[in-house]
Amino acid sequence: MDVVVVGAGIAGLSCARALTDGGARVRVVERGRVAGGRLASKRYDGRYADIGAAYFVADDPDFAALATSWQSRGLARPWTDTLRVFPGDEPTTGPVRWAAPGGLRSLAVDLAEGLDVHLSTPLDAVPDDADAVVLAMPGPQALRLSPPPGIAEAARAQTWQAVIAAVLTYPSRQWGELKGAFVNGHPDLATVFDDGDRRGDGAPVLVAHSTPALAAQHLEHPEAAGPILAAAVAEVLSLTDRPEVQVHRWTYAQPEPADVPYVAGGRVWLCGDAFGKPRVQTAWLSGRAVAQALLG
C-alpha cells in the first residue's frame, strides 16, 4: 500500500510511523521548513522557545509509553502538575505536564526519524498517485487541497480560533516560582508559561498566549499584539523590567472538539487534534487511528 501523509505535525508523524511499522510505503509531505506543526520551537538569538503547545499530558497508556521512551532518551521529562490561576494567584493541581529540554519540536523530529519526509513542499491538491492520502492538519488548511465532498464537509464543520504567542525575553528572572499560569477573564492574555523553567535552562523567558479575541483583532499585523501581551504579563505578574518581544501568529490554533477519531471519504482521510480534546495526545491518537484503520 502506498500512502501519502500531508502534514508533518504530530498527527501526520504518528500516522506515518504506525503505517511504516505496519509495512506500508509512506511519503510525508510538509509545507514548512521543519517538522512539528504546532508542536513548535522557534529559535530567537540562538535559544529555542516553545511557541505552540506549552506542554503535553500523557494519560493514554500508549502515548504514555511513548512519553516514557522519550524520557529514557532524555528528550522529555515530567515537568509539573501544578500551575497557577490568576486573578487571585491560586495554585491549581492537575495531571502531570511534560516538557522537552530541547524544545517540544524535538519530539516531532524524533518521530520523523527514518521516515520519508519531504519538507518545504506545500501541496495545493490531493495527490493522485497513492492508494490513500491522509490530510493531517486543521480542516480549513485541508480545504485548500480541494478534498472530496465528505472530507470537505467535515473540514468545513470545524470551528477554529486563533492565538498569538509572544516570546518575552527579560534581562533577568523577576518572577520566582511560576511554572505557568492560566489567566481567567483577561481580555488579552490567556496563559503565560516560564519557558526557562520548562526547558530547564533557567533562561529569563516567558511565553504568553493571547486570548482568541486579541488574536482576531491582530491577525493581519500580529506584531501589534506583542506590546499588549507584554503589558498584560507585567500587570498580572507585577513585573517592572521591559522584555524583548517576538510574536508568532497561529491562525488555526484551537478547534472545537469533535467526537470521532478521524473522518474518511474514499481514499482520503482527515485527522488531527480537532478529533477530540485539542491536545498533542489527541493528535497523536488521531493519526495512529487512521493508520490502524488503513492497515486493518
Ligand X SMILES: Cc1cc2nc3c(=O)[nH]c(=O)nc-3n(C[C@H](O)[C@H](O)[C@H](O)COP(=O)(O)OP(=O)(O)OC[C@H]3O[C@@H](n4cnc5c(N)ncnc54)[C@H](O)[C@@H]3O)c2cc1C
Which letter does DSSP use for residue 73 in this model?
A: T
* Binds ligand X (CB under 6 A): choice among 123, 143, 203, 295: 123
Instruction: Identify whether the C-beta of residue 167 lies closer than 8 Å to the C-beta of residue 195.
Output: yes
Q: How big, in percent rounded to 5, are the helix, strand and coil portions of the chain?
A: 30, 30, 40
Please, what is the minimum distance in Å from the beta carbon of residue 109 to ligand X?
13
Q: Locate cell 467535515: which residue?
A: 154
Q: Residue 12, interface with ligand X (CB under 6 A)?
A: yes
Are 56 and 104 contacting, i.e. CB atoms less than 8 angstroms apart? Answer: yes
Q: How far is the CB of 287 from ligand X (least distance, A)?
A: 7
Question: Quick check: 168 binds ligand X (CB under 6 A)?
Answer: no
37 is a site residue for ligand X (CB under 6 A): yes
Q: How far is the CB of 22 from ligand X (least distance, A)?
A: 19
Element containing residue 29 per DSSP (H, E): strand 25-29
Q: With binding defined as CB under 6 A, does residue 272 bind ligand X?
A: yes
Q: Which residue has the cell 513548535?
A: 40
What cell was used for 181? 499560569
Angstrom distance (rounded) from CA 28 to CA 3: 9
19 versus 145: smaller Cβ distance to ligand X: 145
Shortest gap between Cβ of 37 and ligand X (angstroms)?
2
Cell of 125: 491538491
Query: What is the DSSP secondary structure assignment for residue 8, as one 8-state letter?
Result: -
Contact positions with ligand X (CB under 6 A) in 133-152: 136-138, 141, 144-145
77 lies in the site for ligand X, by CB under 6 A? no
Task: Compare residues 17 and 38 and give the one whose CB is closer to ligand X.
Answer: 38
Binding of ligand X at residue 29 (CB under 6 A)? Answer: yes
Distances (CA, A) of 162 to 61, 248, 253: 30, 11, 5
Q: Does 50 bind ligand X (CB under 6 A)?
A: no
Q: How far apart are the first and last CA of the chain?
A: 12
Among the listed ranges 20-28, 146-154, 228-236, 273-281, the one in contact with ligand X (CB under 6 A) is 273-281
Q: Is 163 in the site for ligand X (CB under 6 A)?
A: yes
If binding means CB under 6 A, how many residues of this protein chain bind ligand X?
A: 38
Supply the minimum distance, in Å, between the C-beta of residue 7 and ligand X. 3
Q: What does the per-residue mask of binding to ligand X show for 79-108, with x meaning CB under 6 A?
A: ------------------------------
Nearer to ligand X, 119 or 174 (CB): 119
- Nearer to ligand X by C-beta: 69 or 171? 69
How many Cβ atoms are within 10 Å of 105's Cβ, its own excluded?
Answer: 24
Amino acid identity of residue 242, one-letter, is: R
**What is the distance between the alpha carbons of residues 179 and 54, in angstroms, rounded to a whole number?**
11
Give all strands (DSSP E) within 30-184, no chain letters. Answer: 41-44, 47-50, 77-86, 90-99, 117-118, 132-136, 160-169, 180-183
Q: Which lies closer to ligand X via its Cβ, residue 212 or residue 227?
A: 212
DSSP H helices in 22-138: 61-72, 105-112
Is 64 a binding residue for ligand X by CB under 6 A? The answer is no
Q: Return the residue of 17, 27, 38, 186 that touches ligand X, per CB under 6 A.
A: 38
Which residues contribute to the site for ligand X (CB under 6 A)? 6-12, 29-32, 37-39, 52-56, 122-123, 136-138, 141, 144-145, 163, 165, 209, 250, 253, 272-273, 278-280, 283
